[in-house]
Amino acid sequence: MPPTERLIFRVHALERMFERRITVEDVRSVVGDGEVIQNYPEDKPYPSRLVLGWRGTRPIHVVVAEDSEAGILIVVTAYEPDPIQWDAGFKRKVL
């Protein structure tokens, strides 16, 4: 993943992060050290991807879009995956 100092947070992402008790530091860690588990190359206006990372024992998914021309990553949303909807490693949806 690219360096996280060029992260831009959409208002929607910040609102959801607050509701879900996910910090900016959590997101930076996931984006910087996490694993891309799904790519969405057709997303507009920029291609995006789903990144899985861990904060302690807590799994966190972050969706980021990449504006490669500007060299920035845009945080679209962040959430803790529901273990009922995801496999044991939180990498694949089961429902």
Q: Is residue 92 situated within a structural domain? A: no
Which pLDDT score is estimated for 5?
A: 60
State the total domains in the chain: 1
Q: Is residue 88 situated within a structural domain? A: no
Which pLDDT score is estimated for 56?
A: 94
CATH number of the domain bearing residue 37: 3.30.2310
Its domain, for residue 23, covers 4-79
Q: Helical H runs in 3-83?
A: 11-20, 24-33
Q: Is the dihedral of CA 49, 50, 55, 57 positive or negative?
A: negative
* Residue 17, strand partner residues: none
CB distance 20 to 80 below 8 Å: yes
Q: Is residue 93 situated within a structural domain? A: no
Instruction: Give the whole-angstrom CA distance, residue 40 versus residue 74.
Output: 14
Q: Is residue 87 situated within a structural domain? A: no
Which residue numbers in the chain have pLDDT < 70? 1-5
Q: Is residue 70 situated within a structural domain? A: yes
Which pLDDT score is estimated for 4?
A: 56
